[in-house]
Structure 1
Amino acid sequence: MIKPFFPRQSRFWWYHCTALTVVGLVQVLFITFDRPHPVVDIFSSLLWVPLFTVAALVFRQRYIRLSWNTLGTAKLIFFSMLNIAAFSLIISAINLAIVIMIFSDQLFSGSFSENFFGFPHGTETILFNNTISTSLLLSAWVLFYIGIKSRQRAHQSENDRINTEHRLKEAQFRELSNQLNPHFLFNSLNNIRFTIHEDPNKADKALTALSDILRYSLDINTKSRVPLSHELQVVKQYLTVVDLHLEQRLDWQLAISDEVRQYLIPRMSLQPLVENAIKHGIEPSPSGGNLTIKVYLEAKNLTLEVMNTRSLSYPRETKPGTGLDNLKRRIAIIYSGSASLIIKKTATHYFVRLTLPQET
């Protein structure tokens, strides 16, 4: 996209006019100190302003269109100085030529000799001095402009980096969530498989519950956090499915107060804790076990705790599954270290504790 020659940003003109005002005040101070032609000096100064402004805008346009921001430091300095020298010489030459044409009688009264270009002797000194002073002022303007643009690019690069990291985290989160969906589906369908031939009515209820769970899980890519009450509903549906398979071998309780139900937690974060306790703690045991789900406030955190009994007579206990591994990675992406997932074991129980910052 081609930038307009005259910038539309008010900040640009504010900086530019402020700089010209300072330069003008300095020139006025010099003019008041016994200058032989104050009127000529004032006219030359006023004429210099639009010429300098045009030169600055041309430099800006070349800087943008030729993508000088991508040049190395040495090349940028070289091209900038080359343009500054050319623009300064052109500004000074035009300014001096117009001043001589209008005020020649005042400037060169009496007899005088001409130089090689047909101008009175002494004009080359004025031209040289004006070119040097304009070069210094234009160099300051260019340095300030490049500094501002460099700062803007650095700020934009930082914003782009943050946005890229955010999009990457979202992509990672969705990838982990998509890994969770087939894992959960497989375990649930496997539970229903044991019931479908024995009791079709129970299997139908289980499929209805599974349909609700899948509808919830398929919506996982829209919101990363949901109220705890939504997650509890899914957990109850999941336990309904599991009950059909384990029958009397599973006894579960909820210890959750109403005050914590509005707090936000990552979607599909409580269900993997329950699934892990059942699949790797209770289901392998012939006698089953007890499952307790607690959610409570602790300091500034919300703690979700799932506890299941261990079978002392059944030695084979499997390790936690991929659901917990995915959950660890998801909370690391969402909370950047401010959440934790801890697994503890005693002689009679397993504890999985998920600690999250309080969010409503």
Structure 2
Amino acid sequence: MNPILSNLRHISLSYAIWLLVGCLLAALLVLTNSSPWSNALLFAIPMSLVFGGVAASAYYVGRSLPLKNRRFFMVTGIFGGAALLYGAIWVLLCFLWNKICGLFAENWAGIDLNQHLAGVLFICGTLLYLLSILVYDVLLALDNVRQAERREAASEVMARDAELQVLRTQINPHFLFNSLNSISALTAIDAAGARSMTIELAQFFRQTLALSEKQKILLHEEIALCNHFLAIEKIRFGKKLQVQIELDVQAENCMIPPMLLQPLLENAIKHGIRDLVDGGTILVCTKVRAPWLYIAIENPVDIQASPAAGTGTGLKNLQARMRSLYGDKSRVEWQATEEQFRVEITLPLELSNA
């Protein structure tokens, strides 16, 4: 729909502008000694308002040529031809209105509409119509930009939903199978341990589903989810698995994407602690250094482990995920030594409003 005719406010503003154009046209008639003020105003204002209604067609002229399909000669021909046509129509309407005003046979009605003045009106009408096309063209371009932004936002939402859906299905099946096997084994020798593990597993999956529905969650919510995961793994690995979490007080209310830390802890166990005879300690450290939030996870590794034990796919996926959410404002880096593997994440500091 024509954006200027879409609501009463736009229509009122449009006709206020055309009223001003009418006053300027009347002033032109007076300055060129074509008529006195009363005649000029009676002629110019109604004709400007009429032209304002005619100029609304410029929207459809501009829309008929999408920006991507425009060529210079095509634009010149169509826009110029439409402007000349409507300029001529306006001059004819001016002659008609002037004849009607002349019927009053009063000194204050009608002007001397000669050939020279008709040419001036034709030029003015043509230029005003071209200006109308330009204004509508700008409005169409802005509308296209807004639509593109809406489509981009919708695409981001769809991509985020797809990403979260993948996250729900990416929880390592081996973790679930191993947990169920451990529960089965514990049932015969440690019923209390089996029950505790079952409760932790249920809490973990319940929180996973709840948190993954959100775009951002509090860091302490992610830590709580990780604690359920670690409680299950500690039952499986016993004293082999030790975890030390150094949580900056300021970082507790920082917003982060859901399921950010849990996959990293799972990798630390799978590719580090599991292969060590004596196990080891996973260190999770968070710091706030405005305007950044720093998160680091460090775990021991087996120096004799096969290089192919980990392909780095999960970390590359994490890099891509952070890039899609934060652009160049985030950083995911990792480094491996003979005895340690360390992942460092830097995110823009985003505090909860609650």
What TM-score do you get using the length of structure 1 for normalisation?
A: 0.82
Matched, 1:195 2:182: yes
In structure 2, which of residues 225, 233, 237 is the aligned counterpart of residue 242 of structure 1? 233
Task: Report the CA distance shift for 1:294/1:2 in structure 2 as closer, same or farther (over 3 A).
Answer: closer
Task: Report the CA distance shift for 1:167/1:268 in structure 2 as closer, same or farther (over 3 A).
Answer: same
In structure 2, which of residues 216, 223, 228 is the aligned counterpart of residue 225 of structure 1? 216
Alignment-mate amino acid for residue 158 of structure 1: V
* 1:124-273 matched pairs, under 5 angstroms: 126-184=113-171, 186-200=173-187, 201=191, 202-220=193-211, 222-273=213-264
Q: Could you tell me whether the CA contact under 8 Å between 1:302 and 1:356 is conserved in 2?
A: yes
The structural deviation recorded for 1:331 is: 1.0
**3-state SS, counterpart of residue 238 of structure 2:** helix
Counterparts of 2:216 and 2:311, CA distance in 1: 24
Matched, 1:13 2:4: no
- The answer for the alignment partner of 1:79 in structure 2 is 82
Alignment-mate amino acid for residue 179 of structure 1: V
Counterparts of 1:289 and 1:5, CA distance in 2: 68
Counterparts of 2:6 and 2:182, CA distance in 1: 76
**3-state SS, counterpart of residue 307 of structure 1:** strand
Q: Which 5+ residue runs of structure 2 have no aligned equivalent?
A: none
The structural deviation recorded for 1:308 is: 0.3
The structural deviation recorded for 1:227 is: 1.1
Alignment-mate amino acid for residue 52 of structure 1: S
- In the alignment of these two chains, the number of paired residues is 335
Q: Could you tell me whether the CA contact under 8 Å between 1:305 and 1:353 is conserved in 2?
A: yes
Alignment-mate amino acid for residue 248 of structure 1: K
- The answer for the alignment partner of 1:117 in structure 2 is none
**3-state SS, counterpart of residue 105 of structure 2:** helix
Q: Which moved more, 1:142-151 or 1:21-30?
A: 21-30
Counterparts of 1:48 and 1:8, CA distance in 2: 24
Q: Could you tell me whether the CA contact under 8 Å between 2:273 and 2:299 is conserved in 1?
A: yes
In structure 1, which of residues 32, 46, 49 is the aligned counterpart of residue 45 of structure 2? 49
Alignment-mate amino acid for residue 121 of structure 2: T
Q: Could you tell me whether the CA contact under 8 Å between 2:248 and 2:286 is conserved in 1?
A: yes
**3-state SS, counterpart of residue 303 of structure 1:** strand
Alignment-mate amino acid for residue 84 of structure 2: M
Alignment-mate amino acid for residue 81 of structure 1: L
Q: Could you tell me whether the CA contact under 8 Å between 2:254 and 2:350 is conserved in 1?
A: yes
Q: Deviations over 1:167-199 (max 9, x none)?
A: 222222222222221221524312313312221
Q: Could you tell me whether the CA contact under 8 Å between 2:86 and 2:125 is conserved in 1?
A: no
Q: Which 5+ residue runs of structure 1 have no aligned equivalent?
A: 108-122
Q: Deviations over 1:43-78 (max 9, x none)?
A: 254133212311330231x344x5642235132322
Matched, 1:353 2:340: no
In structure 2, which of residues 298, 316, 320 is the aligned counterpart of residue 329 of structure 1? 320
- The answer for the alignment partner of 2:104 in structure 1 is 102
Matched, 1:312 2:303: yes
Q: Deviations over 1:223-279 (max 9, x none)?
A: 221111101000101101212222222111111132211111111111122112112
